[in-house]
Structures are given as C-alpha cells and as structure tokens.
Amino acid sequence: FVRMPDFQVKDGAVSRLHAMFFYDDAGTVGVLDLVSKNGTFVNGAEIESKTLKGGDLISIGGTKIRLES
C-alpha cells in the first residue's frame, strides 16, 4: 500500500495524528485509525483498519468524508 499525501482537518475532536488513508496500484483504498482518542468510523461502525468502497462514509471527530468511486 502507498500512503496518501497528508491533509489537515480543522475539527477539535480530531487527534493530531488521527487516521491514515492508503491505496494500492489496483485502486484499493483503505483507512487505518492511529489509536485516536475519539475513534474512526466507517458507515457508523468503529474500525481499526478497513478497506473502503465507493459511497462509504468515514467519520473522524465531527467531520464526515464520503469516498466517491
């Protein structure tokens, strides 16, 4: 897997190093929670690591990110 470029979310409930998004040459995208205080959620379920698919809703703190395919 390849680590994606860093981006910053301005949300007081998001840890400084909250989660990492990654992808591979086949187009697979995933997210890894970095032992954040408030957790990382995909479609409402708390995750440690998850392969994502188009339409998934990732929640970190009060911020929501939808993966478009």
pLDDT for 12-64, tens place per residue? 999 989 999 998 889 899 999 999 999 999 999 999 999 999 999 999 999 99
Between residues 31 and 6, which one has the greater pLDDT? 31
Q: How many CB atoms lie within 10 A of CB 31?
A: 23
Query: Distances from the Cα of 38 to the Cαs of 24, 34, 61, in angstroms?
Result: 27, 11, 6
pTM: 0.88
